[in-house]
A and B are shown apart, each in its own frame.
Chain A
Amino acid sequence: MEMLTAAASVHTPAPSGDELLAEARAGSDNAFAALVREHQAMVFGLAYHFLQSRAQAEELAQDVFLALHQNLARVESARHLVFWLRRVTSNRCIDSVRSVQRRRELPIDELHEPAVPARVSDPLLGELLRTLVAELTPDARMVVTLRFQEDLDLSEIAAITDMPVNTVKSHLRRSMDALRRKLADRGHVYES
């Protein structure tokens, strides 16, 4: 009998996102914790790539999930949950930079050259890319992060950031041009 129960528990499918959401709304801490684990890499990643600080990203990501807990009743489905988390994370990231004015915003053409060797290996290239992305203006930075971390198309990014699609397109094009130019100065030539 115990073996049967064990076998049944092994074959019990994991609850879907919608089921987890329903359980969390009903007050299950376990279900809410499962939702946090499922989406923490997305939320923390967006915040980390935007803020370039693990400590600030941790605080912001925790705030996002606290806000989710306060607003669970307003989240309609698992799909809506992903949209909601991306949108709230995006808004909080941009808001944190604008309100604190932590860094001076530079026009995209005035980005300073990071102090890295001319020829860099792949890990350093990744670091160089993150540094260059982190110095874009907040809106452009969030567009680039959503595009390449979350692999979203322009209309999805527009819906999350509440920008017109053409503005998103313009941010992306100008950011990519600037990144190509800066990388070419360092010996990394990429075709557009």
Chain B
Amino acid sequence: MSLEQELRRALRRTDPASGFDDRVLSRIAAGDTVRVLQTQSRWARFSLPIAASLMLAAGAGYYAQYQQQQQTAARAQQAYAERAAREVVLALQIASETVSAAQAKVEEITRYEPTNDY
């Protein structure tokens, strides 16, 4: 005999002690009631975790978006600072070149300028 057949024999329907129907009817006649279990549907059972997960996911998404915005702003600020620095360097280079040119001109004039030394 297979295990399935043995289980069917071992777990077959079982009658309660005689007079079961009378005992049930007696309780009904006595006005006895039972708490009716609120059987939750699968959707109801999982709705709270699903709602919590959705809220968590929405919060995480919002935070990621905020972080991205912050990073974009920081990158823009950094790019602006770098451009400003480059422009300052360029300005300094131009100024330096202008000063060098002026200095060279002065030196040239000074070299050929007649003196009163003789």
- Seen from chain A, the residues whose Cβ lies within 8 Å of a Cβ on chain B are 29, 32-33, 36-37, 40-42, 44-45, 48-49, 54, 57-58, 61-63, 65-67, 69-71, 87-88, 91-92, 95, 125-127, 129-130, 133, 144-145, 147-149, 151, 162, 176, 179-180, 183, 190-191
B3 — which chain A residues lie within 8 A by C-beta?
176, 179-180, 183, 190
Task: Give, as a whole number of angstroms, the nearest-CB distance from A126 to chain B.
Answer: 4
CA–CA, A40 to B24, complex, Å?
Answer: 11
A87 to B12, CA, bound (A): 18
In-complex Cβ contact of B33 among A61, A70, A144 (8 A): A70
Q: Contact at A133–B11, with CB atoms within 8 Å?
A: yes
* Contact of A129 with B24 at beta-carbon distance under 8 Å, contacts A66-B33, A91-B37, A179-B3 already known: no
**Does the CB pair B24–A148 fall under 8 Å?**
no
B44 to chain A, nearest CB (A): 10
Task: Give the residues in chain A near B48, CB-CB below 8 Å.
Answer: none
Report the separation of the CA atoms of residues A124 and B64 in the bound assembly, to the nearest whole angstrom. 64
A40-B15, A44-B20 are known; give 9 further A-B pairs, CB within 8 A.
Answer: A32-B28, A36-B25, A41-B14, A54-B16, A69-B28, A87-B39, A149-B8, A162-B41, A180-B3
**Inter-chain contacts of B41 with A (CB < 8 A):** 162
A residues near B12, Cβ cutoff 8 Å: 45, 149
Q: Are B28 and A44 in contact (CB under 8 A)?
A: no
Digitize B10-40: 1 where CB-to-A-CB distance is under 8 Å, 0 elsewhere.
1111111100111111011000111011011
Chain B residues with CB under 8 Å of chain A are: 2-4, 6-17, 20-25, 27-28, 32-34, 36-37, 39-42, 45
Interchain residue pairs with CB less than 8 A apart (19)? A29-B25, A36-B20, A41-B14, A41-B15, A45-B14, A58-B16, A61-B20, A65-B24, A66-B32, A70-B36, A126-B6, A129-B10, A144-B7, A145-B11, A147-B7, A162-B41, A162-B42, A179-B7, A180-B3
